[in-house]
Structure 1
Amino acid sequence: MSVVAWTAAASLAAWLWLLLGQGFFWRTDVRLPPRGESDVWPSVGVVVPARDEAAVLARSLPSLLAQDYPGRAEVFLVDDGSTDGTGDLARALAERHGGLPLTVGSPGEPPAGWTGKLWAVRHGIGLARARNPEYLLLTDADIAHEPDSLRQLVAAADRGGYDLVSQMARLRVESLWERLVVPAFVYFFAQLYPFRWIARKGARTAAAAGGCVLLRTDAAERARIPDAIRQAVIDDVALARAVKGSGGHLWLGLADGVDSVRPYPRLADLWRMVSRSAYAQLRHNVPLLVGTVAGLAVVYLVPPVALVAGLVTGSPAAAVAGGLAWLVMTATYLPMLRYYRQPLALALLLPGTAFLYLLMTVDSAVQHYRGRGAAWKGRTYTRPDPTAPEPSPEQP
């Protein structure tokens, strides 16, 4: 057998293992159970960090204010140094739409050792805790919720005994690039963090989707959220790890009534979304970067290359192994495309999309070493500093 055939065989073996041994990551049936009714509904503080979100706030904030929740719930929007009138727009929307009470706060610029979002979340949690809520809903300013979203989240947490319940919001898929890149983003995330493993007590896998996280207040206190993760760029995964590390029980699944309204119409927009945190995901580790690039190439790029090379050179072993690996890869991607209501033929393009993600990951490392780090909305974050001082307890 040729080198190409052996490499294709290795890729096929990897795909058979992913198909059966990686928590059935490719299935999309991990959803919140049907809502049950209760006589007592715990109080909830909804925390929304927002920085320059005026473009999307009119589509997202009214959906939070309109939550049909039988218990006490309040919304705390934290204006994180916006220059586009985000705070004023939030107040105007609350006055126009009514619904849940809204408080708008502003924490000022984050001190050294904090990301802006987590500094805003800390301020929002401080405002919410003044009302003694039993739960905190951490949700992004670009996330729209169906009217019963909060009911379903709280009911799932109560019935399942979960300390953290998170839903992966359905991202927008309207432009050509969104259709090509977005479903793959969620597919790759589920491959890294299989949802079924996250819910297992005692399992090491921990992750959440930052756009929609319901967290028990006492669990947040035990895990020292957000102080313990104050430098995290990938804050949702760091939050989940902190909660699980302190003994918490987690659940993560796909959403049916939680949607992102943020558009990513151009490839450049999606590129920035992925590359700003890809190297942080690899802990700024060069050997891990090299291994990741090699793994992506073997798993996603080798199958179509081996199939074509085998057919051209007359190597049946390479063609068969490459074709079977590509077939398994395509089959595992189909459920995600169905979830996003996209043409199933896009599954054949997954190797090309994976190549784009490979380039984004390399670019993330290049930008890091150029001193640009994880840049987002005018702020740049470098590698976390373990010597950064602990926050003082009197800070809000």
Structure 2
Amino acid sequence: MDAVVWITAASLAAWVWLLVGQGFFWRTDLRLPPRTDPSEWPSVCVVVPARDEAAVLPESLPSLLAQDYPGRAEIFLIDDGSTDGTGTLAGELALRHGGLPLTVDSPGEPPAGWTGKLWAVRHGIGLARARDPEFLLLTDADIAHEPDSLRELVAAARTGGFDLVSLMARLRVESVWERLVVPAFVYFFAQLYPFRWIARKGSRTAAAAGGCVLLSAEAADRAAIPDSIRHAVIDDVALARAVKGSGGHIWLGLADRVDSVRPYPRLGDLWRMVSRSAYAQLRHNPLLLAGTVAGLALVYLAPPVALVAGLATGHGLTALLGGLAWLLMTATYLPMLRYYGQPPWLAPLLPGTAFLYLLMTVDSAVQHYRGRGAAWKGRTYSRPDPAPERQ
């Protein structure tokens, strides 16, 4: 049992470090920073890339049209080659609900080296430039905003001097699989990109949540957004890195009043959501994949295995170390479950969810090497081209 003891001790040490040394990633109290209303509200253009979103648009688009924003604001919905009438439906919703002005346009198929979403974002930003906005709100077609969302985002950016303010929209948790997988998805994301580190100017940690990103037009120009990240499958993280790398001050936190309305009722739906970009997150590097699999096994799977093995063999030290590591894991997951309104008994099940994520990550690599890459709504991005050189 010596090897098992050492492995379990390493797992426990990892959880002690994660508890206190990883930016307190497990805390869920980071909301929009303190803010005051500006004396003059800057103009904002909202850019919504949309591909086959007719199912969710009736819940999301009216919330943007109804924004109670004191300054000048308008919406550009960019129909990215939809086949379900997304563009037509958007126009009908605007006529029915009124509110902010809406322009619906389409950029055509993306050229080589561009993802479809970023090509649509580029087109939307190009249209917005004619209005000379001070801020751009990049938001997905499945995101519903409370009426004061835009006002609060802009006030937070102005008060804090942020070039980018992003909220991680609260994802839907209604089906059994959503309850099991979705809170863990946000938990793992925060573990990789501790929110408190993101806001530090001297920190290299950078991330955003693509569903809700308020970006200053000046910072977008400085970072050459979206051209500099045209190839990115995980475009929100790439965008944040580009903005921060060009000297921008960024902020990311959890949302209270910005929600995703997209359902993921089956495990297969969630599996595709994760696996389509997991290997891209590892930069398509097999060594990083092997390290990730080993790390997930050590940190998440070893504690319950050690506890059960220790109890079964009467090896008290192994059981103790495994139990303590599992206890720390469970304790750090409870705040995220509370944030999502889920029962605390789900917390000890995190190792099982982590095992699912391990399998999704491996499957992402398998699909990549089969040439299927990051498949999304009929498009596949197997091997991204390098970003263009900045002039």
Q: Do both proteins adopt the same fold according to a TM-score greater than 0.5, normalized to the shorter chain?
A: yes
Counterpart for residue 338 of structure 2: 338
CA distance in structure 2 between the partners assigned to 1:149 and 1:230 by the alignment: 28
C-alpha contact 2:49 2:140 (8 A) present in aligned 1: yes
CA displacement at 1:37 relative to structure 2: 2.5
Determine helix, strand or coil for the equivalent of 1:174: coil
Counterpart for residue 54 of structure 1: 54
C-alpha contact 2:293 2:358 (8 A) present in aligned 1: yes
1:247-396 to structure 2, matched below 5 A, reads 247-386=247-386
CA distance in structure 1 between the partners assigned to 2:34 and 2:263 by the alignment: 30
CA distance in structure 2 between the partners assigned to 1:175 and 1:36 by the alignment: 39
CA distance in structure 2 between the partners assigned to 1:359 and 1:37 by the alignment: 47
Amino acid at match of 1:89: L
Question: What's the TM-score, normalizing by structure 1?
Answer: 0.97
1:154-233 to structure 2, matched below 5 A, reads 154-233=154-233
CA displacement at 1:34 relative to structure 2: 5.2
1:233-248 to structure 2, matched below 5 A, reads 233-248=233-248
Counterpart for residue 69 of structure 2: 69
1:60-209 to structure 2, matched below 5 A, reads 60-209=60-209
C-alpha contact 1:149 1:257 (8 A) present in aligned 2: yes
C-alpha contact 1:113 1:389 (8 A) present in aligned 2: no
C-alpha contact 1:137 1:212 (8 A) present in aligned 2: yes
CA distance in structure 2 between the partners assigned to 1:39 and 1:306 by the alignment: 60
Q: Is there any run of 5+ residues in structure 2 with no aligned partner, and where?
A: none
Q: Is there any run of 5+ residues in structure 1 with no aligned partner, and where?
A: none
CA displacement at 1:184 relative to structure 2: 0.1
C-alpha contact 1:56 1:142 (8 A) present in aligned 2: yes
CA displacement at 1:6 relative to structure 2: 1.1
CA displacement at 1:389 relative to structure 2: 6.0
CA distance in structure 2 between the partners assigned to 1:301 and 1:161 by the alignment: 42
CA distance in structure 2 between the partners assigned to 1:390 and 1:13 by the alignment: 43
CA displacement at 1:390 relative to structure 2: 6.7
**1:251-307 Cα distance to aligned partner (Å, 9 max, x none):** 000001100000000000000000000000000000100000000000000000000
Amino acid at match of 1:241: R
CA distance in structure 1 between the partners assigned to 2:96 and 2:389 by the alignment: 41
Instruction: Tell me the number of residue pairs that the alignment of Structure 1 and Structure 2 aligns.
Output: 391
Identity of aligned residues (%): 84
Measured at CA, do residues 205 and 119 of structure 1 come closer, stay the same or move farther in structure 2, by a change above 3 Å? same
Amino acid at match of 2:280: A
CA distance in structure 2 between the partners assigned to 1:389 and 1:271 by the alignment: 32
CA distance in structure 2 between the partners assigned to 1:327 and 1:238 by the alignment: 34
Amino acid at match of 2:225: I
Question: What's the TM-score, normalizing by structure 2?
Answer: 0.99
CA distance in structure 1 between the partners assigned to 2:286 and 2:375 by the alignment: 20
Measured at CA, do residues 390 and 105 of structure 1 come closer, stay the same or move farther in structure 2, by a change above 3 Å? farther
Determine helix, strand or coil for the equivalent of 1:258: strand
Q: After the TM superposition, list the runs of 4 or more consecutive aligned residues in structure 1 that deviate by more than 4 angstroms.
A: 388-391
C-alpha contact 1:78 1:123 (8 A) present in aligned 2: yes
Determine helix, strand or coil for the equivalent of 1:74: strand
C-alpha contact 2:31 2:255 (8 A) present in aligned 1: yes
Amino acid at match of 1:351: P
Measured at CA, do residues 197 and 174 of structure 1 come closer, stay the same or move farther in structure 2, by a change above 3 Å? same
CA distance in structure 2 between the partners assigned to 1:8 and 1:34 by the alignment: 42
CA displacement at 1:2 relative to structure 2: 1.8
C-alpha contact 2:161 2:249 (8 A) present in aligned 1: yes
CA distance in structure 1 between the partners assigned to 2:156 and 2:357 by the alignment: 34
CA displacement at 1:385 relative to structure 2: 1.9
CA distance in structure 1 between the partners assigned to 2:259 and 2:339 by the alignment: 13
CA distance in structure 2 between the partners assigned to 1:366 and 1:135 by the alignment: 40
C-alpha contact 2:33 2:160 (8 A) present in aligned 1: no
CA displacement at 1:33 relative to structure 2: 3.3
**1:24-65 Cα distance to aligned partner (Å, 9 max, x none):** 000001101355323210000000000000000000000000
Counterpart for residue 41 of structure 1: 41
C-alpha contact 1:34 1:152 (8 A) present in aligned 2: no
CA distance in structure 1 between the partners assigned to 2:333 and 2:68 by the alignment: 35
C-alpha contact 1:210 1:235 (8 A) present in aligned 2: yes
CA distance in structure 1 between the partners assigned to 2:319 and 2:342 by the alignment: 29
Q: RMSD value over aligned CA atoms?
A: 1.2
C-alpha contact 1:48 1:77 (8 A) present in aligned 2: yes
Amino acid at match of 2:163: D
CA displacement at 1:5 relative to structure 2: 1.3
Amino acid at match of 1:57: L
**1:51-104 Cα distance to aligned partner (Å, 9 max, x none):** 000000000000000000000000000000000000000000000000000000
